[in-house]
Chains A and B, each alone.
Chain A
Amino acid sequence: MDALNSQLLSLLVWLPVLGGLALLFVSDSQAGLAKSIALIIALVAFVLSLLLIAGFDSSTAAIQFEQKLLWIEAFKIHYHLGIDGLSLPLIVLTTLTTVIVVISGWAVQDRVGHYMAAFLILSGLMVGMFSALDAMLFYVFFEAMLVPMFLIIGIWGGPNRIFATIKFFLFTFFGSVFMLIALIWLYLQSGSFAVADLHEFPISLQAQIWIFLAFLIAFAVKVPMWPVHTWLPDAHVEAPTGGSVVLAAVMLKIGGYGLVRFSLPIAPDAAAALDWLVIGLSLVAIVYIGFVALAQRDMKKLIAYSSISHMGFVTLGLFLTFAIVRSTGDVSGAALGISGGMVQMISHGFISGAMFLAVGVLYDRMHSRQIADYGGVANTMPWFAMFAVLFFMANSGLPGTSGFVGEFMVILAAFKANFWFAFLAAMTLILGAGYSLWLVKRVFYGEIGNDSVAALKDLNGREWLVMTVLALLTIGLGVWPHPLIDMMNASIVELVNHITTTKIAP
Chain B
Amino acid sequence: MDIKTILLLIPLLPLIGSAIAGLLRHQVGRSGAHSITILAVAGSFALSAVVAWQVFVNDLPVLNYSIYTWALIDGIRFEIGFLIDSLSSMMMVVVTFVSLMVHIYTIGYMKDDPGYQRFFAYINLFTFAMLMLVMANNFLQLFFGWEAVGLVSYLLIGFWFKKDSATKANLKAFLVNRAGDFGLLLGIAAVLMYMGTLDFAEAFAAAPGLTDSTISILGGMEWSVLTFICICLFIGAMGKSAQVPLHVWLPDSMEGPTPISALIHAATMVTAGIYMVARLSPMYELSLTALSFILIIGAVTALFMGLIGIVQNDIKRVVAYSTLSQLGYMTVALGASAYSVAIFHLMTHAFFKALLFLAAGSVIIAMHHKQDMQEMGGLFRKLPVTAVTAWIGSLALIGFPFFSGFYSKDLIIEAVKLVDRPGAGFAVFAVYAGVVITALYTFRMLYLTFHGPTRADAETFSHAQEPPWVVTLPLVLLAIPSLVIGYLTVEPLLFGGALSDAITVLAVHDPMIKLADKFHGPFEFALHGFVTPVFWLAMLGVAIATVVYLFKPALATVIKSRFHWLWSILDKKYGFDEFYQTVIAGGGMKLANLFSSKGDTMIIDGWLVNGSARVIDALSNRLRTVQTGVLYHYAFAMIIGLVALVFAFVLLR
Binding site for B on A (CB under 8 A): 10, 14, 17-18, 21, 24, 69, 71, 79, 114, 121, 125, 137, 140, 143-144, 147-148, 150-151, 154-155, 162-163, 166-167, 170, 174, 227, 230, 288, 291-296, 328, 332-336, 339, 376, 378-379, 389, 393, 398-400, 404-405, 408-409, 411-412, 414-416, 419-420, 422-423, 426-427, 429-430, 433-434, 437-438, 441, 444-447, 480-482, 485-486, 489
* Residue pair A430, B624 in contact (C-beta under 8 Å): no
Q: A14, B647: Cβ atoms under 8 Å?
A: yes
Our pick among A147, A162, A393, A409 for the contact of B638 (Cβ within 8 Å) is: A147
Contact B632 A114 (CB under 8 A): yes
**Among the listed A140, A420, A489, which residue makes an inter-chain contact with B642, where contact means beta carbons less than 8 Å apart?**
A140
Report Cα–Cα, A434/B182, bound state, in Å. 13
Q: List 23 A-B contacts (CB under 8 A).
A: A79-B646, A162-B620, A163-B617, A167-B616, A170-B612, A227-B608, A291-B588, A292-B596, A332-B75, A334-B74, A339-B73, A400-B144, A400-B148, A405-B71, A415-B186, A415-B193, A416-B193, A419-B186, A434-B175, A437-B174, A446-B167, A482-B71, A482-B72
Determine if B588 and A480 form an interchain contact, defined as CB atoms under 8 angstroms apart. no
- Docked Cα-Cα span, A336 to B174, in Å, equals 28
* B residues near A482, Cβ cutoff 8 Å: 68-72
Q: Which one of B143, B148, B217, B595 lies within 8 Å of A291 (CB-CB)?
A: B595
Q: A85 → chain B, closest Cβ, in Å? A: 12
With both chains docked as a complex, state the minimum distance between the C-beta of A341 and any C-beta of chain B, in angstroms. Answer: 12
Q: Mark B585-602, 1 if CB is under 8 A from A, else 0.
A: 000110111011101100
**CA A409 – CA B73 in complex, angstroms?**
10
In Å, the complex CA distance between A262 and B217 comes to: 34
Q: Is the CB of B75 within 8 A of A419?
A: no
| Additional A-B contact list (11), CB under 8 Å, known A121-B643, A288-B599, A296-B596 | A79-B650, A121-B639, A144-B639, A144-B642, A292-B599, A295-B589, A332-B74, A415-B189, A416-B189, A426-B185, A445-B161
Contact (A21, B640) CB under 8 Å given A114-B632, A415-B193: yes
Q: Are A411 and B185 in contact (CB under 8 A)?
A: yes
- Per the bound structure, the CA–CA distance linking A187 and B638 in Å amounts to 26
Scoring B residues 166 to 209 as 1 if CB is less than 8 Å from chain A, else 0, what string do you get?
Answer: 01100100110011011001101110110000000000000000
Q: Which residues does chain B contribute within 8 Å of A150, judged by CB atoms?
A: 635
A271 to B591, CA, bound (A): 32
B73 touches A170 (CB 8 A): no
B578 within 8 A of A: no
The answer to whether residues A430 and B192 also contact, given A288-B599, A332-B75 and a CB cut-off of 8 A, is no
A311 CA to B179 CA in the complex, in Å? 22
Q: Digit string of B119-141 for contact with A (CB within 8 Å is 1, else 0)?
A: 00000000000000000000010
Using CB atoms and an 8 Å cutoff, list the residues of chain B in contact with chain A.
68-76, 140, 143-144, 146-148, 151, 154-155, 158, 161-162, 164, 167-168, 171, 174-175, 178-179, 181-182, 185-186, 188-190, 192-193, 215, 217, 588-589, 591-593, 595-597, 599-600, 604-605, 608-609, 612-613, 615-617, 619-620, 623-624, 628, 631-632, 635-636, 638-640, 642-643, 646-647, 649-650, 653
Residue numbers in B under 8 Å from A170 (CB-CB): 612, 615-616
Complex Cα gap A505–B570 (Å): 72
Contact A166 B148, beta carbon cutoff 8 Å: no
CB distance from A94 to the nearest CB of B (A): 17
Q: Do B623 and A166 touch across chains, with their CB atoms under 8 A apart?
A: yes
Q: How many angstroms between the C-alpha atoms of A328 and B194 in the bound complex? A: 10
* Cβ distance B110 to chain A, nearest Cβ, rounded Å: 17
Indicate whether A399 sits within 8 Å of B639 (C-beta atoms), given known contacts A155-B632, A445-B158. Answer: no
Q: Is the CB of A444 within 8 A of B161?
A: yes
| Cα distance A294–B178 in the bound complex, in angstroms | 16
Q: Which of A163, A335, A389, A429 contacts B74 (CB 8 A)?
A: A335
CB distance from B227 to the nearest CB of A (A): 14
**A137, A419, A433, A446: which contacts B178 (Cβ < 8 A)?**
A433
Which residues of chain B are within 8 angstroms of A125 by Cβ–Cβ distance?
Answer: 643
**Partner among B74, B171, B649 whose Cβ is within 8 Å of the Cβ of A336:** B74
Determine whether the beta carbon of A399 is less than 8 Å from that of B148. Answer: yes
Q: Which residues of B contact A79 (CB under 8 A)?
A: 646, 649-650
Is the pair A434, B608 in contact by a Cβ cutoff of 8 Å? no
Structural contact, A230 and B604, CB atoms closer than 8 A = yes
Look across to chain B and name the residue whose beta carbon is closest to the beta carbon of A170. B612
Q: Are B599 and A426 in contact, with the CB atoms below 8 A?
A: no
CB distance from B198 to the nearest CB of A (A): 9
CB atoms of B167 and A441 under 8 A apart: yes
Expressed in whole angstroms, the Cα–Cα distance for A151 and B217 within the complex equals 51
**Assembled-state Cα–Cα distance A181/B101 (Å):** 71
Contact of A430 among B69, B178, B631, B642 (CB under 8 A): B178
Cβ A489 vs Cβ B592 within 8 A: no
Contact of A292 among B140, B592, B612 (CB under 8 A): B592
B171 touching A437 by the CB < 8 A rule? yes
Residues of A near B647 (CB, < 8 A) are 14, 17-18
In the assembled complex, the Cα of A144 lies from the Cα of B168 at a distance in Å of 48
Residues on A with beta carbons closer than 8 Å to the beta carbon of B635 = 147, 150-151, 154
Q: Which one, A328, A412, A433, contacts B189 given CB within 8 A?
A: A412
Contact (Cβ within 8 A) B593 A295:
yes
- Minimum CB–CB distance from B370 to chain A (whole Å) comes to 22
Question: Across the interface, do A415 and B192 meet the contact criterion of CB distance under 8 Å?
Answer: yes
A147's nearest neighbour on chain B, judged by CB, is B639
Q: Are B186 and A426 in contact (CB under 8 A)?
A: yes
Asked whether A166 and B619 contact (CB < 8 A) given A71-B649, A227-B604, A415-B193, the answer is: yes
Chain B residues within 8 Å of A163, by CB: 616-617, 620
User: In the assembly, what is the distance between CA of A486 and CA of B182, in Å?
Assistant: 28
- A-B interface, 3 closest residue pairs, ranked by CB to CB distance from nearest: A415-B189, A295-B596, A294-B592
By a CB distance below 8 angstroms, the chain A residues around B188 are: 412
Q: How far is the CA of A366 from the CA of B193 in the complex (A)?
A: 50
Q: How far is the CB of A32 from chain B (nearest CB, A)?
A: 22
User: B220 to chain A: closest CB distance in Å?
Assistant: 14
Q: How near does chain A come to B195, taking the closest CB pair, in angstroms?
A: 12
Minimal beta-carbon separation of A276 from chain B (angstroms): 19
